[in-house]
Structures are given as C-alpha cells and as structure tokens.
Chain A
Amino acid sequence: MSNLNFEQKQSAQSESGSIGGEPGGETLFIQHFKNDEARFLKYYHEKMAGYTALKKAFGMTPAAIVDEMKKSNLRGRGGAGFPTGIKWGFINDKTPFPRYLVCNADESEPGTFKDRDIMRYTPHLLIEGMVIGGYAISANVGYIYIRGEYTREAVLLDEAIEEAYAKGYLGKNIMGTGFDFDLTVHRGAGAYICGEETGLLNSLEGKRGEPRVKPPFPAQAGAFGKPTIVNNVETLANVPFIINRGGEWFSKLGRLERSGGTRLISVSGHVNKPGVYEIPAGSMTIRQIIYDLCGGMLNNGRLKAVIPGGSSAPVLTADEIDVIYDIDPLMKVNTMLGSAALMVVSEDQCVVKLIHRITKFYAHESCGQCTPCREGCHWMESIIERILHGKGREQDLALLADISDNIGGKTLCALGDAAAGPVASFVKKFKPDFEAYIRGGKHA
C-alpha cells in the first residue's frame, strides 16, 4: 500500500467530517456504530455475516482455532497488549475443569470509551467471539464483567444475549454440536481497580476488588479458583472476523510486524472532533490523528501535551507526536499505547492542575493493599496540591520523582505504575510549569 495514497484518503475523510468510512484500509467496526439497528440479530445476520464464524469454528479443532488466533497477531486491546492466541494457548489438555471465559468490560481507564460503542452497537460480535473463545478453551460458562455505570449498555447486552439464547447460539447443544455455553452479564459497582484482571475476578466472586498475588495467574487459578481466560471486549469482538477470514488476513490489516488488525481509538480533550475512530493498527502518527483525523486543535489552540494511552500513560510533549500510534513504537519513547485512549491537551490547560487531577484519581482508586501505592499516591497528591497553592518547596520536584520511583514496580498490580509514571513524566517534561508555582509566585 502506498503511504501517500493513504494520507490522501485520510484527509478526504476528515474533510467530510465522517468518522466512518475506510481510513486508508478496511474497517471492521465503525461503519456499524451510531446505527441503532446494528445491535439486533437481524442486522447482524444480514450485514455482518452473523454467527457464520461460530459455525466455521465448530468445524475446527480448538487447537486449530488457537493457532489461527496466534497467526492473527491480535494483541489484547485492554491495555497490556498481550498476544491473544498465546493467552488462549495457556489452556491445554492438562488444564483441569471447569474453565471460565471472562470478558473484561470494565473500561475504567480514564479516556477510554471504545468498548462502550461495541457493546451498544455491535453486542453480537462480542457474544459470538465469546462462544468461539469458550469452545476454543473448552469453557462452558462465560461472564461479561461490565462497569456498573454502564447501566444502559448492560441492558443492551442482556437483550442481545436473550436473542442469542432464543436462536440457540447460547445455551445447551449449540448448533447441534453438543457444546454448551452460558453467558451472564455481571455488573461492577464503581471501582477503577476492577479493570485489573485479578481485582475483577475477586469482584465477580462477590468480594472487594483487590488484585491478587500472581502467580498463580488466572489461566491456572482464576474465577472461583478455576482456570480462567480474561479478555477485553474489543479483543473478543475481533474473534469472529479472524475465524471467518483467517489469521493471516487479519494480521495484514495491521501495518506493523507484530500488531494485527484494526484498532479502535478513543480521542478526547482539546480536539475539534473527539470520538471513537478506527485505524489499521500502526498506520498513523499521533500528529496525523490529531490534525487529519480529529480536525485539529479546538479553537485553533496550541498543543501542549498528549496523554497517549489513558491517564496511566506517561505524557508526551508537543514535540514528541511524530511517533506511530501503536504498542511497540510508543514503548520506544517510554510511554504506552495502553487502551488506545488519546487525550489531547492545549496550552489553555495548566499541566500542574492536570497532573494533580490525575494523581487525585489514583489516590482515590488505590485499593490500599500495597503500602507504596496506598501511601505514595496520597503523598504525591498532597505535594502537588501544595505546589498549586503557592506553598511548594524547592526540593518538591525531586521528592515527587523519588516517591514515584518508590511506587513504580513495587506493588502487586499495575496501579502503582499507572500512578507513578505520569507524575515522573510530567515533572521531567514540564519542569518550568511547576517552577512557575514554586518560584514564580503563581498559585491556583
């Protein structure tokens, strides 16, 4: 594919103001979003080859399905980017029964709202993906753990599940194969940490959503102590496409070697057209996303900062946005793609206030099990707060760097890193903004 041609298509798309269409390649999801008919089985059958992938999967061995998933180079869309095929491969002949398949629909990472669109516009993709996944790992029970706030989406999922039961795509002896699969929507109740898979599993079991010590990993001892695979909504919704059209085809949709498929990205903040977009994985830089896809900066503002992967991702400055927006390229510049939630910040926003808000969030959401996170997040919040109020001290920036260093990598789960990375990066990259408060007499 020619790069030039791709850019031309991309700019044509942004001029038309449409977020559908095909930005330089085939899209799988977005043409069905914002369409209130798409969530029904009738549409899914007629327009999206509904449940034909499931039929095809039943003609394959579970091992062949896992192989296809490996070939697809689909990397988990929840944030960690772990290859889905390899994860499914953790369940093998020796794995004891029962096994569970759990969909992580907690979507709690600030800035992320793509899974919500999958659930409200194309819920059958998720359901079909889960039945195929259940068959591939020989699990007869699945749960969709959805964040409690998504009440409407939970209802829509329940309605779609009911349709699938009525047609025999869920329940006993699906399509006469003897395979049974039951699917239940389980609502969370407001806790960021339940997006962490072991916190999620505890919450599913009726406990506080505190992350577990790993190992054992969920594939060994997950839901109710049994072997469990946990996948993100978008990850599972990609499965029917992969089975129908092949892992190799899917892999080639992506523009990078180890990152297949398209990618739903959530863009928010100071751009003219925030929203969910779909691009071939690794096909655009952050600059192209902001200026070509999202119509540029709101009110022609000047770009100050970009948080590329949800609020847990270390920040990038306006000079650092010519990086390809995908897992490996972002890792090379010491940040992360995470859940592909791009938050765009103009110079109108004070970055010290911004990192204060982010840190307040982590201090609130820390589950409290690990001392570095429980204590450290509150200290970071308090220190940034005093800086904002004109009471910062000369040594505060070094102190913030030190505290964040004592949280990162020293906790049971990734919340510690999620809180530490942003603080360290803001302090390092926007030092003059902090110094204006500490030395320059600025205060909130």
Chain B
Amino acid sequence: MSKILSQKFYDEMKRLEPRYPTKVALLLPALHAAQRETSWLSPEVLEEVAAHVGIHPAQAREVASFYTMYNLKPVGKYHIKVCTNVACELRGADGLVKHCEKRLGIGLGQTTSDRRFTIHEEECLGACGTAPAMMLNDDYHEDLNVAKLDQILDQLP
C-alpha cells in the first residue's frame, strides 16, 4: 500500500514516541496529525495510522469515532462549529446557527455543494465569558453576532 501521509507526519510521530511508554498512546496525536494533512480520516488514512501505532484498523476507527473532532466523513474547506451550549444559547447562539444555515443554504451537519463550508453544532467550547462563540477550523471566534459572523465569512479567501 502506498503511503498517503507525509514524511512530516512520520517525523512528528518519531519525535513524540519516546514521550509515551506505549506506542498506542500515539493514537490521538497521530489522528490529529493525519487529519491536519488530509482534512478527514478516510478508511485508508485510518488504516495507515493504525499500522503505524500497531493496532487493527477497526480499533483505530473504534477510538476515532468516540471523539467529535475527528472527521470520519469529508468536510468543507471551512468547517464552522457553532457552540449552542448553555452560555452561548443565553447569548443568542440560535440566531447564529439559523443565519449560517440561511446564508450557506445548508442544514447542520451538511456541506455546501462547492465543498467550501460545513456547519456543525458544537458543545461547550469553554469560551462562555465571550459567548456566543464558534470555531472556524482550528480558530476561535468569540463575542459574535450576525454582523460579525458575516464579516468573518466575507473575508475568507
């Protein structure tokens, strides 16, 4: 099987390996690093990660599917995750979700047909003092309102 993940991935794993007493402890860092390269964890990527940490691909999937941050389906170039938990709900998160859906013409959990945007509802992001908040890929955006959200989306390349 030809490799999908880059040398950078393998270098990072090599650097992290001595930090843990077992190789399987590398699984979460490996899934993060792999997803950074491929944007989602396809069965082939999961297989490659599993082979590297020495477990069965099913075990890698079993673990990956437990966590919400690992994308087991393709996502858009911009992955919007709006927090709708208590503090954000109290500060108007619902309006942000509705606005996203309307503006992008998709529902929660869906991706636009041009593969630019995916929207998800997110549980508490730990940014409750600056609610409502969302993540756009790896970045936090806080103290949001509809106008600010539009501004952020308008500026995306």
> Is the interface on chain A under 10, 10 to 19, 20 to 34, or 35 or more residues?
35 or more
Q: Which of B24-76 contact A (CB under 8 A)?
A: 24-29, 31-32, 53, 62-63, 66-70
Query: What separation, in Å, do the CA atoms of A98 and B21 have in the docked complex?
Result: 10
- Known contacts A205-B25, A269-B90, A357 near B85 by CB under 8 Å: yes
Nearest Cβ distance between residue A407 and chain B, in whole angstroms? 19
B3 proximal to A (CB < 8 A):
no
Q: Which of B19, B27, B126, B128 contacts A184 (CB 8 A)?
A: B19
Complex CA gap A98/B66 in Å reads 29
Contacts A184-B19, A205-B25, A224-B22; A148 near B85 (Cβ below 8 A): no
Q: Cβ of A89 < 8 Å from any Cβ of B?
A: no
Q: Tell me the minimal C-beta distance from A291 to chain B in angstroms.
A: 18
Write out the residue numbers on chain B whose beta carbons fall within 8 Å of the beta carbon of A112.
124, 126, 128
Cβ contacts under 8 Å, B124 to chain A: 108-112, 192, 311, 361
Write the nearest CB–CB distance from B137 to chain A, whole angstroms: 9
Task: Kindly state whether residue B138 has any CB partner on chain A within 8 Å.
Answer: yes
Knowing A110-B87, A204-B25, A311-B85, the reply to whether A190 touches B128 (Cβ < 8 A) is no
Tell me if B123 is interfacial: C-beta within 8 Å of chain A.
yes
Stretch at the interface among A54-62, A206-214, A429-437: A206-214
Q: Which residues in A have their C-beta under 8 angstroms from that of B129? A: 113, 266-268, 274-276
Query: Does A49 touch B at the CB level, under 8 Å?
Result: no
Candidate in A112, A152, A184, A189 with the most chain B CB atoms within 10 angstroms: A189
Does the CB pair A270–B126 fall under 8 Å? no
Please tell me if the beta carbons of A113 and B126 are within 8 angstroms of each other in the complex: yes
The CA-CA distance from A108 to B67 in the complex, in Å, is 13
Report yes or no: A206 in contact with B85, Cβ–Cβ below 8 A.
no
- Which residues of the partner chain A approach B63 to less than 8 Å between Cβ atoms? 206-208
- Please state if A270 and B25 are interface contacts (CB–CB under 8 Å): no
User: Can you list 28 A-B contacts with CB-CB less than 8 angstroms, sorted by A residue number?
Assistant: A107-B126, A110-B124, A148-B32, A148-B67, A149-B140, A151-B139, A182-B19, A184-B19, A189-B67, A189-B68, A190-B67, A190-B69, A205-B24, A206-B26, A224-B21, A266-B128, A268-B87, A268-B90, A268-B131, A269-B87, A270-B90, A274-B128, A274-B130, A307-B86, A311-B86, A357-B85, A361-B124, A364-B123
Q: A266-B128, A311-B85 are in contact. List 18 more A-B contacts (CB 8 A).
A: A112-B128, A113-B126, A116-B127, A152-B138, A184-B16, A189-B28, A190-B69, A191-B66, A191-B67, A206-B26, A224-B25, A268-B87, A268-B91, A274-B87, A354-B89, A357-B84, A361-B86, A361-B124
